[in-house]
Structure 1
């Protein structure tokens, strides 16, 4: 893959793990790119390799994982072969990730204010007063009420939605160029889900970031994405702009996902993906 000026570009990413039953290939030759100001959705059921692909980008997989790719570039820079210290200077600052379990992702032993302060201390030259002001500013930006009072709160003292807002504040603290949101609304009720999605999209548009939205929810894809990649068993089955994907899906697996939406029910029984034959090669152009 030539350097085409994409914010992030990956060619032929493979991730393998050794298991008791043999080698598990969690990601199998996936290629993708995302540009500035673009939202790329990666969709598929659990176990399709969506999160593993992005954890490979972040360098957060266990050392036992085998990660290979023909190319993995961020702003034209090879990030796959960076030293750990060089990668840490990028991850958390220029590339940030929001994880799917907000309460589990925050350290229960430290206040939420302290945890954002640590991010700012690592990646900026702000002094302690400036970091405190910046943290309050971030809490206000993500819609946390009484932002100044929240600095000394522990994660268990906050709701799931509030913890997710803290995670978003932490992710955008250093104005990243790429934001990866991994199932950011999974653990939240429906009302809070809509608020969090609207918040993420508004921040992405305001900051001009590229964003990768990992989800299994086709409704989230329709609301947020410019382009969509559909994954199944670690392979990319289809890639299209969001309108084309919904109007003219090329892959049987994509058709299965769309047919399983409640609004597409046509009889007494809602179809499931198991009703379809999608043990197929990826759709033409998917790679």
Structure 2
């Protein structure tokens, strides 16, 4: 049985002109020890779908699904109290902007220890010891000192490592990483990706990697879902996706990679979709 299995997930937002559907009829599943990549352009509904799983969407959002089963539990029918016990403990999420996700008014150590206090019921000395272990695990130097730092006293890469430490603090069964390297330079991006994959393998977690970067997909994923305008375009294992993509949109994403450039100008997704439509005799 899959660790997480979602059927027919849709998310809509009320607007002045009617309801905008950000996610439309998505099916997905991920197993323990598997890395699932959800890929697509900004605005394709990748993050919204996972925020629906986490229960972090605003009240203006309408979330419907035929089923949303995590580790044998129906997340659609469980109470708010039951959901709060699972979220942050068994299911954790790393967000795009670490500086925006951490509270600037509290030390990073306090924020990490709060997770351990709430979910693991640890006393203060045990929390401190565990926090130091976690900082060491994610590669933060001088962890005893860094626990007393505020977010603004740390670099973007270090703050992202803090967010990863918070996410894995309770040894979650499922980790969702939402564009975890977006705000980081290339060298730090590689370090963070390597860290996530090694932690996933070490702890046997399911990992959902949300990204628009096909290079990240190639490096990390076992299986890939391609989304476009809130819909699932294609799902395949990573090798099949790169060798024989079935969806025109997937081919468009791959054609826009720098290594696939022809001539002096790099093709865009819009260019490719326009050419595909012209070849099929359809108006773009």
TM-score range, shorter chain: over 0.9
Provide the rounded CA distance (Å) in 2 between the counterparts of 1:113 and 1:228: 35
Q: Secondary structure at the match of 1:203?
A: helix
Match of 2:193 in 1: 197
Q: Secondary structure at the match of 2:245?
A: coil
Structure 1 length-normalised TM = 0.95
The answer to whether structure 1 residue 220 and structure 2 residue 216 are counterparts is: yes
Unaligned runs of 5+ in 2: 278-284
The answer to whether structure 1 residue 168 and structure 2 residue 164 are counterparts is: yes
Provide the rounded CA distance (Å) in 1 between the counterparts of 2:122 and 2:100: 28
Provide the rounded CA distance (Å) in 1 between the counterparts of 2:235 and 2:74: 24
Provide the rounded CA distance (Å) in 1 between the counterparts of 2:176 and 2:191: 18
Match of 1:102 in 2: 98
**1:184-217, CA deviations, whole angstroms, 9 ceiling, x for partnerless residues?**
0000000000000000000000000000000000
Match of 2:260 in 1: 264
Provide the rounded CA distance (Å) in 1 between the counterparts of 2:63 and 2:17: 19
Match of 2:154 in 1: 158
Structure 2 length-normalised TM = 0.96
Provide the rounded CA distance (Å) in 1 between the counterparts of 2:179 and 2:130: 26
Q: Residues 248-263 of structure 1 correspond to what in structure 2 (within 5 A)? A: 248-263=244-259
The answer to whether structure 1 residue 273 and structure 2 residue 266 are counterparts is: no
The answer to whether structure 1 residue 207 and structure 2 residue 203 are counterparts is: yes
Provide the rounded CA distance (Å) in 2 between the counterparts of 1:226 and 1:211: 10
**1:24-47, CA deviations, whole angstroms, 9 ceiling, x for partnerless residues?**
000000000000000000000000
The answer to whether structure 1 residue 232 and structure 2 residue 224 are counterparts is: no
Q: Secondary structure at the match of 1:119?
A: helix
Provide the rounded CA distance (Å) in 2 between the counterparts of 1:157 and 1:208: 33
Q: Residues 77-88 of structure 1 correspond to what in structure 2 (within 5 A)? A: 77-88=73-84
CA RMSD of aligned residues (A): 1.1
How many residue pairs get aligned? The number is: 276
Query: 1:125 offset after TM fit, Å?
Result: 2.6
Query: 1:19 offset after TM fit, Å?
Result: 1.2
Q: Residues 46-65 of structure 1 correspond to what in structure 2 (within 5 A)? A: 46-65=42-61
Unaligned runs of 5+ in 1: 281-287
